[in-house]
Amino acid sequence: MGRLSVNLCGIELDNPVIPASGTFGYGWEFAELYDINILGSFSCKGTTREPRFGNPTPRIADCPAGMLNAVGLQNPGVDRVIDTELPKLARVFHKPVMANVSGFSLEEYAETCARLDREPQVGWLEVNISCPNVHGGGMSFGTDCGQAAAVVRAVKAVTTKPVLIKLTPNVTDVVSVARACEDAGADGISLINTLLGMRMDLKTRKPVLANTMGGYSGPGVFPVALRMVWQVAHAVKIPVVGMGGVSSAEDVLEMLMAGAAAVEVGAANLVDPWACKRIIEDLPAAMDRYGIRTLTELKIEN
């Protein structure tokens, strides 16, 4: 293993940096800017069984130290992803990828995951039970321990690849949900998804977003994300993928020190398309400044 290498559910990554779902498309778009094989991996845009247009506009709003989004899982559906998006990706990216999956019922989660599980380039299934921008499904599964566990069992029954469950921060006790997922057979936990927020338009006296509320992401959420990663990583024995406001090599190191096995970078990609490349290139110097020889020495033992 190299100095930056990490292991996620039995799959070795050249480095821990993974662009987060919804901020990197299906990968090939960014390959026009730089060689995306520099990445540890990346998480594909959230995919549902059927195509989704998403929420009405406006669905993006500026916030201090971040942004709000209420895109609503816009995607072409799993058939198009398998037939078109993954073959295009395979031409420019030669590592395992995360397939991010959302659903509105146990059956939909299971069917979509089963389809993607058969794709050779898919290394992990990242099951999103935490989207705050859809009505029904999404976050409603991730706020209840029983429903979260039910999704895990439904997906694990039809898949063979590692299953990571992506959790919402919009709960009182995220550790209980994470433990329920672990007990149900999850191979790993991803967190956090966005915090629920909103903005008002002072001129119209109405919410800025057509959906009223949206997910708050960006540097402002980093301390909250780090706290939750610490709590979950010290409470479960399965790997944790940390995310939320990560925008620098130092942020990555903090996430790893808090217990993350790998780190996803989200909103930073929307501000700077080269953000992940820059972070990876900055990691060795950041490690040198803090006397870190290899990233594996930061791994916590439960």
Instruction: Compute, in degrees rounded to 10, the torsion defined by CA atoms 283, 286, 288, 294.
Output: -40
The yes-or-no answer on residue 131 being catalytic is: yes
pLDDT in single tens digits along all 302 residues of the chain:
699 999 999 999 999 999 999 999 999 999 999 999 999 999 999 999 999 998 899 999 999 899 999 998 899 999 999 999 999 999 999 999 999 999 989 999 999 999 999 999 999 999 999 755 444 545 567 788 999 999 999 999 999 999 999 999 999 999 999 999 999 999 999 999 999 999 999 999 999 999 999 999 999 999 999 999 999 999 999 999 999 999 999 999 999 999 999 999 999 999 999 999 999 999 999 999 999 999 999 987 76
In a domain, 68, yes or no: no
Q: Which among 223, 244, 236, 287 has a CA at the least distance from the CA of 6? A: 287
Choosing from 113, 131, 145, 181, the catalytic residue is 131
What CATH number corresponds to the domain at position 113?
A: 3.20.20.70
Parallel, antiparallel, or unpaired: how do β-strands 188-191 and 195-197 relate? Answer: unpaired
Query: The dihedral of CA 271, 276, 281, 282: what is its sign?
Result: positive
Residue 171 lies in a domain: yes
Is residue 196 within a helix (H) or strand (E), and if so which, with residue range? strand 195-197
The neighbouring-strand residues paired with 126 are: 100, 164
Q: Residue 62 falls within a domain, yes or no? A: no
pLDDT for position 140: 64
Q: Is 64 domain-assigned?
A: no
The answer as to whether 212 is a domain residue is: no
Residue 205 domain-assigned? no
pLDDT of residue 133: 46
Q: What domain range is 125 assigned to?
A: 6-50+74-198+217-298
- Residue 43 inside a domain? The answer is yes
Instruction: Report the number of distinct structural domains present in the chain.
Output: 1
| Domain assignment present for 92 | yes
